[in-house]
Amino acid sequence: MLQTLVYGRDRIRFMESLVVGDIAELKPGQGTLTLLTNEKGGITDDLIVTNTSEDHLYVVSNAACADKDLAILRDRAAQLQATGRDVHLEVSDNALLALQGPSMARVLQAGLSDDLAKLSFMNSISTTVFGVPGCRVTRCGYTGEDGVEISVPTARAVELAEQLLGVPDVWLAGLAARDSLRLEAGLCLYGNDIDETVTPAEAGLMWTLGKRRRVAMDFPGAAVIMAQVKEKPRRRRVGLTSVGPAIRPHMAILGPEGRPVGTVTSGCPSPCLGKNIAMGYVEAAHSRAGTELTVEVRKKQHPAVITKMPFVPTQYYMAK
């Protein structure tokens, strides 16, 4: 993952000129999922932006989008600097470890002096983890489960990973496990479910737009996105469940008359539910939960039902 630190008095103005979220409203240590958009309203990337307690923003971008995201960030910073604004970037070379699941808090608390019970979902602290200083622990992770992402100095990343793996409840998990978890939680995968041809309105991600930002319409693609909200998008991201062969990306979704009405963007058998789950885009007229459609799998049609997401309830932790 690309990890970028944004410094300067105008760091909020800088970030809000690129993303749809209300970064100014974030409390110290609080973060949010937000979207980097283009002038056509498409999603260039989904990011987590944290307003740290150390007077800078901490931005985490998808690794696959690192080069284009960094180019956009640097170009915009240069534009603002040329007008006298105070903003500058620092790219972190830290590694990022994700510790996810119901045992996370118990496992990690043993290596922290900070009280994890006080750290809510999407909040972040700078701390020492199992004797490794200079770490940032953020209570998040793209699994739908309670978890943390630990930004750790690269030179000691293997050491920390080995310490965590020394705990019986901690196991290595591959990207396939993470992918099934994020799909069960109804979370988008960039490049599959969202990309530069998809808008927040179509993707069902309008909740990422702050109310103030909607009124100001001062983010890239605002006119296109807000027009779609008013007129209703022609296609919508939906969840699907089915039995039989697994549903996979790029498979056609067919309406009652056998006409293509959409396309699958993600799909796999759900380990938790014991049936197939998928995500895709369909014409708005076919997007209501409970609508019966079919999916074409190896030239055969199999029944599928539009299903509300998340498929499996999320377990995000909120401090009391």
Q: Tell me: the pLDDT tens digits for 92-101?
A: 999 999 999 9
- Which sign does the torsion angle of CA 276, 277, 282, 284 carry? positive
137 in the same domain as 115: yes
65 in the same domain as 35: yes
Predicted confidence (pLDDT) per residue in 132-144, tens digit: 999 999 999 899 9
Q: Specify the number of domains making up the chain.
A: 3
End residue of a domain, out of 167, 190, 211: 167
CATH at residue 134: 3.30.1360.120
Predicted confidence (pLDDT) per residue in 32-42, tens digit: 999 999 999 99
**Does 52 map to a domain?**
yes
pLDDT of residue 67: 97
**How far is residue 97's CA from residue 252's CA, in Å, rounded to a whole number?**
36
Spatial contact of 16 and 217, defined as CB atoms under 8 Å apart: no
This prediction has a pTM of 0.95
In this prediction, residue 320 has a pLDDT band, given cuts at 50, 70 and 90, of: confident
Q: Would you tell me how many other CB atoms lie within 10 Å of the CB of residue 171?
A: 10
End residue of a domain, out of 167, 189, 214: 167
**Does 318 map to a domain?**
no
**Does 163 map to a domain?**
yes
pLDDT of residue 99: 97
294 in the same domain as 238: yes
**Does 207 map to a domain?**
no
pLDDT of residue 50: 98
Q: How crowded is the C-beta side of 153, counted as CA atoms within 13 Å?
A: 11
Query: What mean pLDDT is predicted for residues 214-233?
Result: 96
In percent, the amount of the chain with pLDDT more than 70 equals 100
83 in the same domain as 15: yes
Mean pLDDT of the chain: 97
In this prediction, residue 243 has a pLDDT band, given cuts at 50, 70 and 90, of: confident
Predicted confidence (pLDDT) per residue in 37-82, tens digit: 999 999 999 999 999 999 999 999 999 999 999 999 999 999 999 9
**Does 143 map to a domain?**
yes
**Does 300 map to a domain?**
yes
Predicted confidence (pLDDT) per residue in 81-124, tens digit: 999 999 999 999 999 999 999 999 999 999 999 999 999 999 99
CATH at residue 84: 3.30.70.1400
User: Does 296 appear as a known binding residue?
Assistant: no
**Full domain range(s) for residue 63:** 2-91
104 in the same domain as 35: no
End residue of a domain, out of 132, 148, 167: 167
Amino acid making up residue 133? P
Amino acid making up residue 249? P
**How far is residue 255's CA from residue 257's CA, in Å, rounded to a whole number?**
5
Query: What mean pLDDT is predicted for residues 237-258?
Result: 95
68 in the same domain as 99: no
pLDDT of residue 110: 96
In this prediction, residue 199 has a pLDDT band, given cuts at 50, 70 and 90, of: very high
